[in-house]
Chains A and B, each alone.
Chain A
Amino acid sequence: MSISLTTTQKSGAALLLLLIVYAVFGPMLQEGDAATQNLSHIMTAPNSEFWLGTDHFGRNMWIRLADALQLSLMMAGLCVLTSAIIGVSAGVLAATRGRWLDRGLDAIVTMILALPGLVLVLIFAAIVPGSFWMLYVAISLIQWIEYFRVSRAITQRLTHSPEVQSSKLMGFGQWYIFRRHYWPAIAPQLFTIAAFGAANAILMMASLGFVYVGIQPPLAELGLMIVEHFPYYSDAPWLLAQPLILLALVVLACQLMGRGRTQ
């Protein structure tokens, strides 16, 4: 399978790569860590010592933003991977393994879809507040549905197609049919879903941080930082702007990646 990206997708990938480099290597360029407070240096404007300034506890924003970004990207990556694996497997199984499994999975999906996604995540987050893993489970639980529906629809169309029938008649097993027929049809669609899914996962985690049920202080998290800096918007507007801009950039990068060729 050859992958050819459009210019839009390439710019998205470049932006994302830049952000990943910052998240991983950024903290090494400055001394200190994300949690150490320095009350004699609160709300310093960006200068040569603190490249992005300090927050209301005098913490180094350059390092805190990189940490927050790391957390967001990790969440996005994990959620995309988990929900894709679960969604595609369930979708293919539902389309190929008889009526009852299909009905059962369909019922579960309908139930999950009946609830607004964010509410479901809120419920989970409220069970164990501040847990990264609980958020991960909750977001994946919502996101696998899209992969499920797309792979199920594609597989259903293919199960009775001549190509699959031909392979079955030749004695090939289910795994072979998945590898040669279902997967090549599903894979091109996954990329778009994954890109938008990643953006959604990041936004969801930030939303929870913003209403204080997500990641808990003193950990750096984009949504949490926004709400923490909110009271100082007139004294230090750049402080509030930083996590907002970063969040917008990450989401933009994902969305650009998801823009496929329009014909």
Chain B
Amino acid sequence: MSLIHIENLTVWAGQTELLAPMSLTLEKGQRLTILGQTGSGKSLLAQAIMGNLPSSLRTEGKVTLFGDEVNAKQRQRFWGHRISMLPQEPWNSLDPLMGAQPQLQETYQLVAGQSAGEARQSADYTLALQGLSDSGHKRVDQLSGGMAQRVAIACAMAGGASVLLADEPTKGLDVSRRDQVVEQLLTQSEQGTLITITHDVAVARKIGGHMMVIKAGELVEEGDAEQILKAPQHAFTQALIEADPVNWPAPEPSTQTDKRLLDVEDLTIGYGTSALTKHLSFTLDEGEVVGVVGDSGCGKSTLGDTLLGVQQPLGGRIKRQRQAAVQQWQKLYQDPTAAVSRAVSLRTLLEDTIKLHNIDRARIAPLMQQLGLTDALLNRNSEGVSGGELQRFCMLRVLLLDPVFLFADEPTSRLDPVTQRDVSKLLVDVAKQNGCAVMLVSHDPDLIAKRCDRVINLNH
């Protein structure tokens, strides 16, 4: 008896086909990896299997779970204890008012059916296993993205489901945590089956098993993961694999100016009374590209806020060696949609910036061309463009201000690999051309190695 058997499953929005017919069969102990870019419809497939698509979408085809053919409604019976889904953006799927531990305990109690005492023990044990013993009382907004991800994984696994669907389980995690999560998923899959959806080639390589490559709702390649990753047949798969940072060309050494921009001595950063990182000393030259790495929650973003003067350091000194206007110290955000007002069009926002700082309009067109932005794009607001486009728009605004220092806080972690490669290359190239120093934060050491002159590690 196969755990999952799907025949010609399609997803429709009205008369538009969002997902072309997909068929698959998974036995106990088998793994399936679905690889594709953001917006390719791979999450739709997961939701269609799970049976939690939005009501505006319609599915066709046969879904057989645990030997019974079931419709979307009947599948709800299986949720939690037989089939479980690990959603994207874990901070949205956790209760914002509840601590991590009580939430997990509740799952053990209500879904797995343990007694209150057992559930508490299981929850404590799992949190300890995830390295979260000290954070059990924290709410989602007090956890870092990576920590929230781990709590969500623990909750999804608590019910003991034998079929686990993981939708981008490693998005925003640093490499060591990413590998931990993958290990955990693999262990889980031994007792049942695992379907992983990812855009990360490295994750796909680790999980292996059967692989489906999806592009714009169409299946472009299917087969053994190892085989596909070694010798991709389809041009799209080849592009995806090439876009993996491991396969990027090595960086060109930047032209050192040896003009000092920043001196940081014995800096301690943190919030309130709790220090995140202590005794940090480094220097930064003009036009230099420096990578910042460290585990999630170690204060990478806080370092940026402190250097930019948004937040006060708890100790130590930051000395700006160059007199530059306030707006020349800039930041790029991890989530561009959260960093741009959605109330007005991008053009209005750009105009606001131009008027405020009397920017020469002649500079805009060439820069937009370099960033690959079209004029028509500016007529939409931030919700009407893709993440990659919006991040490039943010870069446009920032670069028009002639920055001397740019703190890029995971600027590409929410983008798919091809866009990630292009955007990060653009960022580094344009910054170097303009003599702007960049501190690039990333959880991906390969990306840092291929883009930066040197690295600051916050882990010690």
Contacts and interface: CB of A to CB of B under 8 A. Distances in A.
B343 A184 contact: yes
B329 A180 contact: no
A170 B342 CA distance: 17
A171 B326 contact: yes
Nearest to B329: A169
B286 to A, nearest CB: 19
B310 A165 contact: yes
A91 to B, nearest CB: 18
Interface stretch (B25-33, B210-218, B349-357): B349-357
Contact of B341 (A165, A169, A181): A181
B110 interface: no
A181 B343 CA distance: 8
Contact of A180 (B327, B341, B397): B341
B236 interface: no
Nearest to A187: B343
Contact of B356 (A1, A170, A181, A184): A170
Nearest to A181: B341
B338 A169 contact: no
Given A170-B356, A172-B352, A176-B352, A165 B340 contact: no
Q: Which of the listed residues A169, A172, A176 has the most CB atoms from chain B within 10 Å of its own CB?
A: A169
Interface residues of A, number: 17
A170 B401 contact: yes
Interface in A156-213: 161-163, 165-172, 176, 180-181, 183-184
A210 B335 CA distance: 57
A165 to B, nearest CB: 6
Given A170-B330, A170-B397, A170-B401, A163 B353 contact: no
B79 interface: no
Contacts of A180: 341, 343-344, 349, 352
Contact of A170 (B305, B338, B343, B353): B353
Interface string A68-111: 00000000000000000000000000000000000000000000
A180 B348 CA distance: 10
A167 B340 CA distance: 8
B338 A162 contact: yes
A166 B340 CA distance: 8
A184 B331 CA distance: 23
B332 to A, nearest CB: 9
A165 B331 contact: yes
A1 B348 CA distance: 14
B336 to A, nearest CB: 9
Contacts of B349: 180
B94 to A, nearest CB: 18
21 contacts: A161-B338, A162-B335, A162-B339, A163-B339, A163-B340, A163-B341, A165-B310, A165-B339, A166-B340, A169-B308, A169-B326, A169-B329, A169-B331, A170-B397, A171-B325, A172-B352, A176-B356, A180-B344, A180-B352, A181-B341, A181-B343
Interface of B: 305, 308, 310, 325-327, 329-331, 333, 335, 338-344, 349, 352-353, 356-357, 394, 397-398, 401
Interface of A: 1, 161-163, 165-172, 176, 180-181, 183-184
Given A163-B339, A171-B356, 9 more contacts: A162-B333, A163-B338, A165-B305, A165-B310, A165-B331, A166-B340, A169-B308, A180-B344, A181-B343
